[in-house]
Amino acid sequence: MGYRKGCFRVRQASCLLGVAAASFAFALFGCGGDSGSDAGYDYEIVGDSSAGMSLPDFSGSSEITDVSSPSTGTQSSDNPPEGSSEASLSSSSLAPQSSAVPSPFSSSSLILWDPDPRYSSVFRPQSSSASEPPRSSSRDQHSSASEPPRSSAHEPQSSASQQLLNFDFYTGADISTVQEYERFGAKFYDVDGSATDIFTLLKRHGFNAIRLKTFVSPKAKYGYAASGCEHDAEAYADKDHIVAYAQKIKAAGMAFLLDIHYSDNWADPAKQIIPERWRNVGSSDALADSVYAYTLDLMNALKQVNAVPEMVQIGNETTPGILIHLPNSSTDCWGNGVDKASTAINGDMGTSSGKANAAKYFKAGIKAVKEVSPSTKTVLHIESIRKPNTVNWWMTEIFKNQKVPADVMGFSAYTAYGDKAPDDWKSLFQSLVSSYPDLEFIVAEYNGGDADNHYNFDGSRKRTNEMVKGMDRWIGTFFWEPTLSGAWGTALFDWKGSDLYANSKAFEEYPLVRH
């Protein structure tokens, strides 16, 4: 998921703190994040030539099974499903539909990726005080005058005791924003009222894996932590913050899924913005070099502190593609309002050249991950599970036609966004297992909420885990941001003052376990 303006139930603590980074222009360049020391270049080019890195030929590296949907037949490799509407995500000059191979999709098929309320700058749900962080007109009531709040990038590792967890199945949570709350000393309380850290609390309730998002240069203009935006207190989600927090995950004995957005801000179906320091790139080979070198640097930094991820996502909700857009004067703090980059470099899945570019970028990221840690599983991630035609089209193109050698396919699954209930996903999920015998699968994001800031407490969250766990080669689920409520559903925690308390009713579906 990506944050969209107006789609949040909460304002982040960083907005409250309001520590505007006057030096946000520092270190926008440099391999692996805002804090990198290698300044003075616009993109991470490998070697001394813009000709591009030499990616291996994956076409014969593994056997690719024919993934045509048994109910729809073979899809045209040149185009998305007929009748699709990519909103502003694809060029009006898409490659023409092949007349030799009729599309199996009728004009009544659902569109590829929706211009739905998730990505609208107009949608503004009302606030719920029980599920949002404290607000202060002074913007920093939690810090003393003599000592600023400590950065989570320099926090000590988690005090969670080492426990040997079973990793046959990843019961995970994306807690990326928690480090922002820790900056002003937010504490966590379990259902019994005992104070603890987030890792220990989650482990008590059966969670064994953590997902973290990362941005290239979040302090850059139009970035996640750009000056004047809600998260501008620190360069949250940059390399330094990720490396620090990854050590806490490992200290807690939990598995780690790293979600690389390959953008300075949220990447999702509405926008896939090329990072600022790569925008002078003129060829897809040079941009692939940048993806490769950035990923390699990030992985090496994690390896140096013994925090190599078990899984790495190469992109976030890349249904429309990856590295597609450029910001303009209208682009807001959430990344809404963008232009498309040139066809020479954009990875727009709506065009033939874009599909080839997207595959090149996916392969570059995968190559870097595997060079540092061959055992780390690489993940691709899309949404639109309510539209099996779109899922089958995307996976056919990426895995069969482009032969991208990822290990895991991940999906966002949100009932509140029209994806229906977990049992409705089962048919699609089972068909993918049959069509892709060499892939594993995860639900990379879910909540279970059925409407804006609402959850029925009907067991959907528990059912998500049970249903997925019961299928062959489905290896995990990740609850998205358990401290946040919004258009996707409700949080697992309630705010009381500046602290977070586990909601007893919500945690009934994640009961205490014995390790």
Q: State the alpha helices, DSSP H only, in 187-230.
A: 198-204
| d(C-alpha 212, C-alpha 191), whole Å | 24
Question: In tens digits, what is the pLDDT along the chain, a chain of 515 residues?
Answer: 764 433 433 333 333 333 333 333 333 333 333 333 333 344 565 443 333 444 444 343 333 333 333 333 334 444 555 434 333 333 333 333 333 333 322 333 333 444 434 433 322 223 333 555 543 333 333 333 333 333 343 343 444 445 679 999 999 999 999 999 988 899 999 999 999 999 999 999 999 999 999 999 999 999 999 999 999 999 999 999 999 999 999 999 999 999 999 999 999 999 999 999 999 999 999 999 999 999 999 999 999 999 999 999 999 999 999 999 999 999 999 999 999 999 999 999 999 999 999 999 999 999 999 999 999 999 999 999 999 999 999 999 999 999 999 999 999 999 999 999 999 999 999 999 999 999 999 999 999 999 999 999 999 999 999 999 999 999 999 999 999 999 999 999 999 999 999 999 999 999 998 75
Backbone angles phi, psi at 169, to 5 degrees: -145, 135
Residue 182: predicted pLDDT: 85
If you classify domain 13-47+125-509 with CATH, what class do you get? alpha beta
Place of tokens 């998002």: 213
Q: Would you kindly state where each structural domain of the chain is located, as residue ranges? A: 13-47+125-509
Q: Which two tokens stand for residue 358?
A: 């997207």
Q: How far apart are CA 233 and CA 17, in angstroms?
A: 7
Contact 460, 477 (CB under 8 A): no
362 three-class SS? helix
Could you list the beta-strand ranges (E) of 261-341. 311-314, 321-322, 325-327, 338-340
Token match 């079973």: residue? 166
pLDDT for 159: 46
pLDDT the model gives residue 164:
79
Q: At what angle do helices 388-395 and 422-435 cross, to 10 degrees?
A: 30
Which residues does 250 contact at the CB level (< 8 Å), separation at least 6?
Answer: 256, 306, 307
Specify the amino acid at residue 118: R
Q: Is the pTM of this model over 0.85?
A: no
Nearest to 211 by CA among 503, 512, 479, 494: 479
Separation in Å, CA 421 to CA 386, 440, 446, 514: 10, 22, 11, 29
The Cα–Cα gap between 270 and 293 comes to: 26
Tell me which long-range contacts 203-207 makes (C-beta under 8 A, separation of at least 24).
Answer: 203/160, 203/163, 203/165, 203/252, 203/253, 203/254, 203/515, 204/512, 204/513, 205/507, 205/510, 205/511, 205/512, 205/513, 206/171, 206/510, 206/511, 206/513, 207/171, 207/172, 207/173, 207/254, 207/510
Q: Is 469 helix (H, G, I), strand (E, B) or coil?
A: helix
